[in-house]
Amino acid sequence: MSKNEIENIQQFLTVVDEDENKKYQIVNIQLLLNRHSPGSVIRFLTELHKDYTRKLQRVLRKDRTSSKIDQIIAAKWRVKMAINAIRNTVNDGGRAR
């Protein structure tokens, strides 16, 4: 995988709070892809997605008006998009270094 492809995937996993000038990485994808195969990273992200699903279910049972619901759904979406981006890149012939 090229550096540009990894940076594009990282953008899905980075949240910027413009009000507080803060940047938060859900996962450092470059580090993971440098140490593990794309398949392993996809499996890890899939488990992370499942963890967010379980967390969402707990929050929904406790308080359906919580703002945490929005944050969890956003994180789930970002993780799913990163998984799809890695799959698409690998299917197009890219390889992790």
Each residue's pLDDT tens digit in the chain (97 positions)?
Answer: 899 999 999 999 999 988 888 999 999 999 999 999 999 999 999 999 999 999 999 999 999 999 999 999 999 999 999 999 999 999 987 544 4
What is the distance between the alpha carbons of residues 58 and 63, in angstroms, rounded to a whole number?
Answer: 9
Q: Containing domain of residue 33, as a range?
A: 3-91
Give me the pLDDT at residue 96, please.
Answer: 45
User: 3-state secondary structure string, the chain?
Assistant: CCHHHHHHHHHHCEEEECCCCEEEECCCHHHHHHHCCHHHHHHHHHHHHHHHHHHHHHHHHHCCCCCHHHHHHHHHHHHHHHHHHHHHHHHCCCCCC
pLDDT at 92: 86
- What pLDDT sits at residue 94? 55
Whether residue 77 is contained in a domain is answered as yes
Would 26 be classed as within a structural domain?
yes
